[in-house]
Amino acid sequence: MQAAVIQMLSVPDLASNLRQAQQLLIQARQQGAQLAVLPENFATFGMVSEQLMQAASIVQAWAQQITQTLGLWLVAGSVPVYNPTLDKYWARCWLFNAQGQIVSQYDKQHLFDATVLDQQGGYRESATYCPGDSLSVVSTPIGRLGLGVCYDLRFPELFAELRRLGAECIALPSAFTQVTGAAHWEVLVRARAIETQCYLLAAGQGGDHPNGRQTFGHSLLVSPWGEVLQQASVGEAVLVADCDLDYLHDIRQRMPVVAHKKTLLGSD
């Protein structure tokens, strides 16, 4: 079954980003994709907090329409969804089926509070966002799919739990910085694929954005053996590859790492 990873260079304009995403999704469907993954903040990248309040409902309506029109399953990147109790946003990833229905959602659990030696210098997502606290794995045309978002990639325990829940493929909408991406992006994606013996569908933002941010791009699809099946550079890209579940289960049968896993206890 064919999956697509979409790389974007989003701008602080919701309508423009949705038009860009639509054209890339049309290309993905024309190339045979049955499910596509958009990057983190694909519709709202660079927008300020006051602009985010209405974005979720607009993006949801757009995604419902485009998935029905194209007959395409869609991992709708991440979208800021307001939490009135905390006066912050969840970084929410929706999974739509080809009938335009939300069949799963995931709120980013690990928030990017870090000092990075780039033009921005530091990031504090927790000032605007609140973390999620649950995982789910659901059946899709490309297999059982789990969801993560960007900084989650650095926490292998989350991916191990998705595997325990039955994941065969894991979608990872992202927006790695140029600095962190150049150092760590590919090796982390491949490591998570190898550890979980899952297909990794890692969709990034890629390039120089109008707000001064530099994102790494290099979106990729990785096999459960850690092979890079397709990879982008920077700028817009549509990557399509086959998620061969027979191949996946053969790897798991020949190297049953989950069955071999031990609970390690430290000494007193």
Tell me which of 108, 125, 169, 243 is the catalytic residue.
108
- Please check whether residue 203 lies inside any domain of the structure: yes
150 carries an active-site annotation: yes
Sorting pLDDT into bands at 50, 70 and 90, what band is 265? confident
- How many residues are recorded in the chain? 268
Tens-place pLDDT, residues 219-242 = 999 999 999 999 999 999 999 999
50 carries an active-site annotation: no
Helices (H), the chain: 14-30, 49-52, 55-70, 156-164, 178-180, 186-196, 245-254, 257-260
- Please check whether residue 111 lies inside any domain of the structure: yes
93 carries an active-site annotation: no
* 267 pLDDT above the threshold of 70: no
Tally of domains within the chain: 1
143-147 and 199-203: which strand pairing?
unpaired
* 20 pLDDT above the threshold of 90: yes
- Please check whether residue 265 lies inside any domain of the structure: no
- Please check whether residue 49 lies inside any domain of the structure: yes
Residue pair 222/203 in contact (Cβ under 8 Å)? The answer is no
Rg, Å, the chain Cα set: 18
Q: Which two tokens stand for residue 228?
A: 């890079």
Sorting pLDDT into bands at 50, 70 and 90, what band is 51? confident
Inter-helix orientation angle 55-70/14-30, to 10°: 20
- Please check whether residue 121 lies inside any domain of the structure: yes
88-96 and 102-107: which strand pairing?
antiparallel
Rounded mean pLDDT, 100-115: 98
Tell me which of 88, 93, 130, 150 is the catalytic residue.
150
- Please check whether residue 264 lies inside any domain of the structure: no
- Please check whether residue 266 lies inside any domain of the structure: no
Q: Give the CATH number of the domain where residue 158 resides.
A: 3.60.110.10
CA atoms within 13 A on the CB side of 128: 17
Q: Which domain holds residue 193?
A: 2-257
Sorting pLDDT into bands at 50, 70 and 90, what band is 264? confident
Q: Which amino acid is at 252?
A: R
Q: Give the pTM.
A: 0.96
- Please check whether residue 262 lies inside any domain of the structure: no
What local confidence, expressed as pLDDT, does residue 88 receive?
A: 95
For 28, the 3-state DSSP assignment is helix
What local confidence, expressed as pLDDT, does residue 118 receive?
A: 84
C-alpha to C-alpha distance for 107 and 162, rounded to whole angstroms: 14
Of 149, 135, 139, 191, residue with least CA distance to 169:
139
Tens-place pLDDT, residues 166-202 = 999 999 999 999 999 999 999 999 999 999 999 999 9
* 49 pLDDT above the threshold of 80: no
Residue pair 203/172 in contact (Cβ under 8 Å)? The answer is yes
Positions of E strands within 183-251: 199-203, 206-208, 214-216, 220-222, 228-231, 237-242
